[in-house]
Amino acid sequence: MSVNFSIIIVCLNPGTKLKDTLESVKKQTYKNYEIIIKDGGSTDNSLEYAREAAGEFPSLHIIEKKDKGIYDAMNQAVFCLDEFGRVSCDEVAAGTVELNGRYVYFLNCGDILYDEYVLEKVNDLIKAKPSVSGIYYGNIYDRLTGNVVASNPDIDAFGCYRNVPCHQACFYDEKILKEHMFDTKYRVRADYEQFLWCFFAKEASGKISFVYGDILIADYEGDGFSETKQNRKISAKEHWEIVKKYMPAAMAWKYRIIMWVTFAPVRTWLSGNRFTAGLYNGLKRVYYGKGVKK
């Protein structure tokens, strides 16, 4: 059984970053994928490379449409998935391999797949640990600090409060995204809200699984949309709003107090500082009980 990946790249005047991102996909050894570029109206000619190189990919589609921000653009791309059909490699076309669902991956411009084996490894993970509807996730490499950032291998309520895997580390069953799309009222944390819906919402209880693989998924550029000084303030505000939306008040305040007494702001600074990030992330991996290699 093989899966089909839909890789969604959202952009607006990305310059040469779009080429770098696409090149990392082109190198993949696993070819059962399609690329959907959702462009919000670029004027820097950055799409020319994508148009010229389209024939070098199994399937590449470009959607040029105005949007209200990154999460609206992601929703638009998900909404258009069925217009393009399912991509198949030669074996699938010949009928010798059956596709086992479609998984969606959001790859930001400037971020790249860590190596040429990422899709192959994720496909193997999905085959080894199949689920009716799931999110498969791994780790990312933080280019700014030069360190691996490990995801929590066991998702629980406190883990959802503290830190969920970023979307660059996650492959989503398409059914999840179609059932609960990104809530665009959250400017910075819509992917966080979507993740908590998957874990806490009654309609998703028992139906969605979270499967971790010790895989380096993406080389993360850093200093992105959510990490500007202004958006960090918005992020903190939205985090608390979303937490209260899905967690009982007593639980939310309990976790908030735990974060205060364990010096969460200091730990955040340590993880983001080039000189201390290595030690911090090393201890974090020990805590998670997973050895992750760069």
- Give average pLDDT by consecutive 10-residue segment, the chain, 294 residues: 83 93 96 93 92 91 92 92 58 43 90 97 93 90 87 90 91 92 95 94 74 95 64 90 95 90 64 65 64 41
Same domain, 142 and 259: yes
Contact 239, 186 (CB under 8 A): no
**AA identity, residue 266:** V
Domain finish residue from 101, 130, 159: 130
Contact 153, 196 (CB under 8 A): no
What predicted TM-score, i.e. pTM, was given to this entire model?
0.84
Residues 150 and 122 in one domain: no
* 231/209 Cα distance (integer angstroms): 30
CA distance 188 to 239: 9
b vs e for 130-150, b when ≥16 Cβ sit within 10 Å of the residue's Cβ? eeebbbbbbbbbbbebebbbb
For residues 292 and 157, membership in a common domain is answered with: yes
Residue 272's pLDDT is 66
Same domain, 100 and 165: no
- Which token pair is 236? 């903190």
**Cα–Cα distance, 185 to 234 (Å, whole number):** 12
- Is residue 21 located within the same domain as residue 99? yes
Q: Are residues 55 and 194 in the same domain?
A: no
Q: What is the CATH number of the domain that holds 22?
A: 3.90.550.10
Are residue 124 and residue 152 in the same domain, yes or no? no
Is residue 170 left, alpha or beta, with left meaning phi > 0 and alpha meaning psi from -120 to 50? beta
* Residue pair 49/22 in contact by the 8 Å Cβ criterion: yes
Those residues with Cβ within 8 angstroms of residue 222's Cβ, 6 or more apart along the chain or in another chain: 142, 143, 144, 145
Last residue of a domain, one of 76, 98, 130: 130
The predicted pLDDT at position 264 comes to 63
The residues with which 220 forms a beta bridge, in sequence order, are: 142
Our count of domains for the chain comes to 2
Per-residue confidence (pLDDT) for residue 92, from 0 to 100: 37
On whether both 227 and 83 belong to a single domain, the answer is no
Sequence-ordered alpha helix ranges (H) in 69-172: 70-79, 81-84, 90-93, 118-128, 157-162
Residue-level pLDDT at 95: 44
Q: Which of 130, 148, 179 is the last residue of a domain?
A: 130
Do 152 and 261 belong to one domain? yes
CB of 231 within 8 A of CB of 225?
Answer: yes
What is the maximal distance between C-alpha atoms in the chain? 59
| One domain for residues 233 and 267 | yes
Taking the CA atoms of residue 156, residue 73, residue 217 and residue 111 in that order, the dihedral angle to the nearest 10 degrees is -130
Cα gap 173→180, rounded to integer Å: 12
Tell me what pLDDT residue 163 has.
83
Residues 187 and 64 in one domain: no
Model pLDDT, residue 91 = 42
Res 96: pLDDT: 44
Nearest CA among 23, 29, 32, 31 for reference residue 4: 32
Q: Where in the sequence is the domain holding 62, given as residue range(s)?
A: 1-130
Do 164 and 213 have their domain in common? yes
